[in-house]
Structure 1
Amino acid sequence: MADPVSTLPLRVSASSPWRMPLLAGVAALAVIAVGSAVLPTFLVNNLVRSFLYAALALTVDLLWGYTGILTFGQSAFFGIGAYAAGLVFVHAGYTPLHAAGALAAGLLGAWLVSRAIGWLAFYHGASPLYASVVTLVLPIVLVQVIYSGGEFTGSSSGLSGFDSIDLPLEAWFIIAGAFLTVLAVVAWMFVHSDAGRLLVAIRENESRCEYLGIDVSRYKARLMDTCALVAAFAGFLFACVQMVVAPEYAGFVFGTELVIWVALGGRGSLIGPIVGALLIDTGSAYLSGDLPYIWMLLIGIAFVVVIVAMPRGLAPLVADGVRRALPRRRGP
């Protein structure tokens, strides 16, 4: 008997206004192209990083917000992609062929680790708690591997100062912004497709999905594989533009920050985690230097308040406010 998931069409529902996100994506790309020329250099540099972080937050939202898999391991996949670039460029030098090899190695490494995590977390009758525990341990183990690598991995100091793809900062701004925009549009179309609706069904009633013949474990594993590849690609871009990699980018703290950004922005909304990541990371660049402890305290307080008072985050609250502000249609 064929797996219902593998045969389910990725067809966007006819009732969904799928043209709107495509138009919004085109508009976002236009704004990004203009912004690269008019924004100050400091902000452009920070937004390049924030765009890549927002892409990571989007993968956390797909896993946690839509499917119910609370994951702390996306930072590890990000680190795998970043260290693949850093290690190749430091020890072999930069050439276009080396860059392609580093990208392939990062994606392959992330996929293999994701396969192992999926097997441990989703198969053999594992409870949903297993996924959280396994992904919690993953970045901790990866950071210890980096530490034990000594001079080869840079240990706790990381790797820096290596040659990379020679592009101006404005070009990296457009590349990172386009990557985030395309990812957001594809993610929106996926979650509104027939196959994407299974995400919410699994989150709401996993047992019923299994009763209906859906291979839930396989579906979760495939989703984690895809999100791992996206995270590794983002990490590769990060290493190429920043020309520095450090254990912190693969660590547990960063993985937890991603979960906080998704919770604050609004899990299960796609746009909420993106806005949350952009605002918090960009704000940190401006405020963490002047208010290093107060800023983190404010983020922590906001996280607690949102979890207690607004479990779905700020995005639904903003959306409700916009709907109330817009004039209602009157009947004929």
Structure 2
Amino acid sequence: MGLQELWFVLIAVLFTGYFVLEGFDFGVGMLMPVLGRGKDAVADTRRRVLLNTIGPVWDGNEVWLLTAGGALFAAFPEWYATLFSGFYLPLLLILLALIVRVCAIEYRGKIDDPTWRRRWDLGIMVGSWVPAVLWGVAFANIVRGVAIDEDKQYVGGFFALLNPYALLGGATTALVFALHGAVFLALKTGDEVRADAVKLAHRLSIPTVVVAGVFVLWTQLAYGKGWTAILVAVAAVALVAVVALTRLEREGWAFVFTTVAIAATIVLLFGSLFPNVMPSTLNDAWSLTIENASSSPYTLKVMTWAAAIVTPVVLIYQGWTYWVFRQRISTHHIPKSIGLTVGAERS
């Protein structure tokens, strides 16, 4: 494997880690109106339980996106330039949504006022739904191919990105992340919050199997390769297993299989893409590939050494964080909401 192939694989790994970890963060935010329902005091307590499940880890999970974007810029600058200029509007919407979500998580507990918290809760929900949908739209378009001219510029419009395959990709990521988040909440919470999360996870699992199944099958038939059919089977089996496991209330194994389903789907997308990084629908000769979009061999070599040294440290630290905050959280762990700061909510 050459350095170009290696960094293509590493970028795929980074995005896989991001979607697995940030996927349940998005799911928690998406499901707050459903699992955080009730009268003011009850709803606030339940929503604080939901936020406490991701409180120690959500910002660390976002680092995977920053690292993936940095690696994309350094290893494949032509890919980065064409992607971020051509997909400027959807990526800007994702960025704005992530900023709103960050502010909402940090600020909702700053003032002890129900109206204040409800408004920030809306920001958490919107800031979770928008990226959950648009990431699927973006990656589906990357695999499908877009209008790239001979100067490596995207010449299609915004609405060209809203094709049926891409919209199905958006629906798939939204449903999978919602299911992933519901299973995560069932794994991390207790009492009535866990019971409701288990029920919701089972209800979400069936439509998710249908929509995601159509998407991965379409991907394989239209853009896949021979070996990627294995990934379609893995994703399908994993999602079907989630249906059974949520019914049996085996949320630990259900979370394992939602993780497998997400990972298999992302690897399917990258595997279908290779050796291209952004196919052109205008002319195959104008497609961006790992060869014509990459940095110099020296740059890739320096990056490889840096990644080999730093990556194990980051993985060990993040794994330790999850271990420390592994306990379940219940409503009786949440103190009365008077003058609490976000830091107190996370404790």
Same fold by TM-score greater than 0.5:
no
- Higher-RCO chain (CA-CA 8 Å, sequence separation at least 6): 1
TM-score (norm 1): 0.32
TM-score (norm 2): 0.31
